A and B are shown apart, each in its own frame.
Chain A
Amino acid sequence: MTALMLDGVSKSFGATAAVSNLNLSVQRGCICGLLGPNGAGKTTTIRMIMDIIVPDHGRIDVLGCASPAAAKDRLGYLPEERGLYRKMKVLQTLKYFAAIKGVPDRQLDGRARQWLELMGASSWANRRIEELSKGMQQKIQFAVACINEPELLILDEPLAALDPINLDSLKSIILSFRSRGTAILLSTHMMHEAEELCDHIVLVNKGRSVLQGTLSEVRGRRQADTVVAELEGDSAFLDALPFVAAVRRDGQAVEMSLRDGADSQQLLAAMVPRVRVISFRLKMPTLHEIFVRTVGGSDAQGS
């Protein structure tokens, strides 16, 4: 079931188009990674979903409501620019945000304490926010975003600046939301995290979606790009093959980049009569490589 759908959404600030004609959908029980370089329009997109800024064109459908404002109590949002009232106590903070997110009064205390426990911060309940370490504050902010048990959770760089232990605990909380059927839109720069968490990827650059699909689809599209082989014999002929773009040698191992449209089977067929093939492996590009190539490539096209 679709929890979030953006249909042809555009937004300009003056002459610069921050987001143009963006389509995107997030299913319940899925994590969708919104990836892109700085200034790609990720935050603008998220702010439009949250009804903080109004799109110039297009339709945003949040949890079946035509207006995002109507669904606010069912959303969780962790903005990239985030802060809390410095003088307020931790428990008070959680209760206050739960209250303005529509959690009923009699559940406030229980809900706040439950999240404190989950964050391992029960002993901090009566401390002021300003006394907390940065990592602890970030966890409280995360709890604030989730405290209304949202059906759609929007996380803008949720894992930045966390130590490994906190990183794992927040990741497991995100995954537990997914297993409960929450739709999650996750914006991040950290590719290995996106690889680990996301089911679906949307890569945006300069306000446009440049790559979209499930993680394996996105990777699959680049599948035939690189081959790593171990060969016995003289491999000099490889440099002359028309469909090979580049060859890098490291002892017996050879890594070959194929030209667009070339088939790895063709390469194997060319090797077999000339050398002994000990191993032949298609190298899956990492999300990092895909990111760099796609964004770098579209930059080259643009200029």
Chain B
Amino acid sequence: MRKVLKIACREFLDTVQTKMFLLSFLMVPLIAGIIWYTSKNQGQARKNATAQKIAITNLVEGLSPDIQSVFQKHNSGKAGRIELTVTDSGDFQAISEQEKDLVRKGKLDLYVVLDKDIASERGKMLIYTRQGRSADMAIVPTVQNLINQAVFNLRCRQNNVPPELVQAIRRWVPSEQISLDEASGKERRDKGDMLATRYMVPFFFMLLMFMGIFSQNQHILTSVIEEKSSRIIEVLLSAVSPFQLLAGKIVGMGGVGLMVMGIWAATAVAAARWQGLVLDIPPRMIVYFVLYYVLGFLLITSILAAIGSVCNTLKDAQSLIMPIMLLLILPMVSWPNILQDPNGAWSRVLSFVPLTAPMVMILRLASGQSIAVVEILASLAILGASVPAAIWAGGRIFRTGILLYGKRPSLIEMVHWLRSR
């Protein structure tokens, strides 16, 4: 046991001291922070951006003042400024060619032509943009909206209807969402933020699980392959058994994983508090998380150690870990589906596949939907049973593979090793 701990200790320090580790450790919260910050400050950023230049050629009689007034109102608001030029007289053909040319050269962001009969009949507005500049597209709906408002005002005037009246008639009925908790019977008002956290918390839990299991991959593979390719393994095996070595590695890496996730989770909670988000995480979620993480980690690590032991270079290992990675990524790509229907067939199936169970189950558990206890226990039991099986098989392959140099053994050979004494 002392030997296992010594190996674990070395493995832990060795991993923690690499630059790769430090980078990935800091990158994850940093990237999350940046995404959060930019999405929160998008409105602010738009306001500070340089004004968009728009030219409108208006063929509708009497519309120009309305256009000017709605754009003025827009410019005094929070959203980005628009610099507007409206033309309603002169040689339209020539003006139109001239403006289009400016759009082509990028001197004008948008050029709009309003058909003569748009207020009365089914005329169109033609919007010209420069090809290949997707950033300008954000302005298009705003401009459409503003012109529609101007046309609305004109139509009201033409029909002698006060615009305020129409607005009062069309006023949207306000709504409020209240969620009912099955267990406590409490009623809770959902604000906008709450809806976000309701989606974000399960996703964050799954992401944490994925990163926790996934980020150790590279370390366990490099560690095994280094020992093999630099021929340290025989010196090590003169002091410890292959099983002690494997156990030490798993414990060491597990320690790294738990530490990293602890810090990430604490950072996330602290950041959420600071930003005023209400997180409502029941303590049993944390118990489930640790349980699923430890089991999932043990499973993956023993598989990876076995893979590493039969390979001489990281490149060799890539093709072998491919199918495992695909399985791990499956919950990552289908998380919205799982969250929408946590008790659907797809979610249930993935809960019983040992490799995907930790991520899918944590997503389902965090979704707030009730899941039958039997189902949780069954998923844990399948995962739990797969762990000793993987450690046993991984250990056997590791024991033989670690001393084998040269050509990578075939899968059939590895199956033979499982049966050997």
Please give me the residue from chain A that is nearest to B244 by CB atom: A100
B230 touches A50 (CB 8 A): no
Known A-B contacts A96-B6, A100-B7; A84 and B235 likewise in contact (beta carbons under 8 Å):
yes
B341 on the interface (CB 8 Å rule)?
Answer: no
Among the 9-residue stretches A69-77, A242-250, A256-264, the one with 4 or more Cβ atoms under 8 Å from chain B is A69-77
A84 to B6 Cα, complex, angstroms: 16
**Residues 213-249 of B contacting A (Cβ, < 8 Å):** 226, 230-232, 234-241
Known A-B contacts A83-B231, A86-B230; A75 and B238 likewise in contact (beta carbons under 8 Å):
yes
| Interface residue from A77, A83, A86 paired with B238 (Cβ < 8 Å) | A77
| Interface residue from B230, B241, B403 paired with A69 (Cβ < 8 Å) | B241
A79 touches B226 (CB 8 A): no
Please give me the residue from chain B that is nearest to A49 by CB atom: B238
A97 on the interface (CB 8 Å rule)?
Answer: yes
B10 on the interface (CB 8 Å rule)?
Answer: yes
B421 on the interface (CB 8 Å rule)?
Answer: yes
B3 on the interface (CB 8 Å rule)?
Answer: yes
In the assembled complex, which residues on chain B have CB atoms less than 8 Å from the CB atom of A75?
Answer: 238
Known A-B contacts A52-B403, A85-B226; A100 and B240 likewise in contact (beta carbons under 8 Å):
yes
A14 to B241 Cα, complex, angstroms: 24
A85 touches B6 (CB 8 A): no
In the assembled complex, which residues on chain A have CB atoms less than 8 Å from the CB atom of B232?
Answer: 82-85
A88 to B7 Cα, complex, angstroms: 14
A50 to B239 Cα, complex, angstroms: 9
Known A-B contacts A82-B234, A84-B235, A144-B235; A54 and B10 likewise in contact (beta carbons under 8 Å):
no
In the assembled complex, which residues on chain B have CB atoms less than 8 Å from the CB atom of A82?
Answer: 231-232, 234-235
B241 touches A97 (CB 8 A): no
Please give me the residue from chain B that is nearest to A84 by CB atom: B232
Please give me the residue from chain B that is nearest to A144 by CB atom: B235
B239 touches A101 (CB 8 A): yes
A10 on the interface (CB 8 Å rule)?
Answer: no
Question: For this complex, into which size category does the number of interface residues on chain B fall?
Answer: 20 to 34
A229 on the interface (CB 8 Å rule)?
Answer: no
A51 to B239 Cα, complex, angstroms: 10
B6 touches A99 (CB 8 A): yes
> B308 to chain A: closest CB distance in Å?
16
B3 touches A52 (CB 8 A): no
A81 on the interface (CB 8 Å rule)?
Answer: yes
> B202 to chain A: closest CB distance in Å?
40
A97 touches B237 (CB 8 A): no
B403 touches A77 (CB 8 A): no
A50 touches B237 (CB 8 A): yes
A182 on the interface (CB 8 Å rule)?
Answer: no
A72 to B226 Cα, complex, angstroms: 23
Determine which residue in B3, B6, B10, B403 has the highest number of CB atoms from chain A within 10 A of its CB, and name it: B6
A141 on the interface (CB 8 Å rule)?
Answer: yes
A96 touches B10 (CB 8 A): yes
Known A-B contacts A54-B421, A85-B226; A100 and B236 likewise in contact (beta carbons under 8 Å):
yes
In the assembled complex, which residues on chain B have CB atoms less than 8 Å from the CB atom of A52?
Answer: 234, 237-238, 403
> A144 to chain B: closest CB distance in Å?
6
**Residues 1-30 of B contacting A (Cβ, < 8 Å):** 2-3, 6-7, 10, 14
A84 to B233 Cα, complex, angstroms: 9
Known A-B contacts A52-B403, A54-B421; A97 and B230 likewise in contact (beta carbons under 8 Å):
no
A191 to B240 Cα, complex, angstroms: 32
> B418 to chain A: closest CB distance in Å?
15
A88 to B6 Cα, complex, angstroms: 15
In the assembled complex, which residues on chain A have CB atoms less than 8 Å from the CB atom of B403?
Answer: 47, 52-53
A72 touches B238 (CB 8 A): yes
Please give me the residue from chain A that is nearest to B403 by CB atom: A52
A73 to B2 Cα, complex, angstroms: 12
Please give me the residue from chain B that is nearest to A130 by CB atom: B230
Please give me the residue from chain B that is nearest to A156 by CB atom: B234
A54 to B403 Cα, complex, angstroms: 13
| Interface residue from B231, B234, B239 paired with A100 (Cβ < 8 Å) | B239
B235 touches A97 (CB 8 A): yes
A100 touches B230 (CB 8 A): no
Determine which residue in B2, B14, B239, B240 has the highest number of CB atoms from chain A within 10 A of its CB, and name it: B239
> A10 to chain B: closest CB distance in Å?
14
A51 to B242 Cα, complex, angstroms: 10
Please give me the residue from chain A that is nearest to B420 by CB atom: A54
B3 touches A100 (CB 8 A): yes
B238 touches A79 (CB 8 A): yes
In the assembled complex, which residues on chain A have CB atoms less than 8 Å from the CB atom of B10?
Answer: 96
Interface string of A221-260 (1 = CB under 8 A from B): 0000000000000000000000000000000000000000
In the assembled complex, which residues on chain B have CB atoms less than 8 Å from the CB atom of A72?
Answer: 238-240
Known A-B contacts A81-B231, A82-B231, A83-B230; A100 and B237 likewise in contact (beta carbons under 8 Å):
no
> A123 to chain B: closest CB distance in Å?
23
A144 to B14 Cα, complex, angstroms: 19
Q: Which 8 A-B residue pairings sit nearest by Cβ, starting from the closest?
A: A77-B238, A83-B231, A79-B234, A83-B230, A81-B231, A100-B239, A101-B239, A83-B232
A-B contact pairs, 15 of them (CB 8 A): A50-B238, A52-B238, A75-B238, A77-B234, A77-B235, A79-B231, A79-B238, A82-B232, A84-B230, A84-B232, A85-B14, A87-B14, A96-B6, A96-B10, A145-B235
16 extra interchain contacts, Cβ-Cβ under 8 A, other than A75-B238, A81-B234, A85-B230? A51-B241, A52-B237, A72-B240, A77-B234, A79-B235, A83-B230, A83-B235, A84-B230, A85-B232, A96-B10, A97-B235, A99-B6, A100-B236, A100-B239, A100-B240, A102-B2
Q: Which residues of B contact A (CB under 8 A)?
A: 2-3, 6-7, 10, 14, 226, 230-232, 234-241, 403, 421
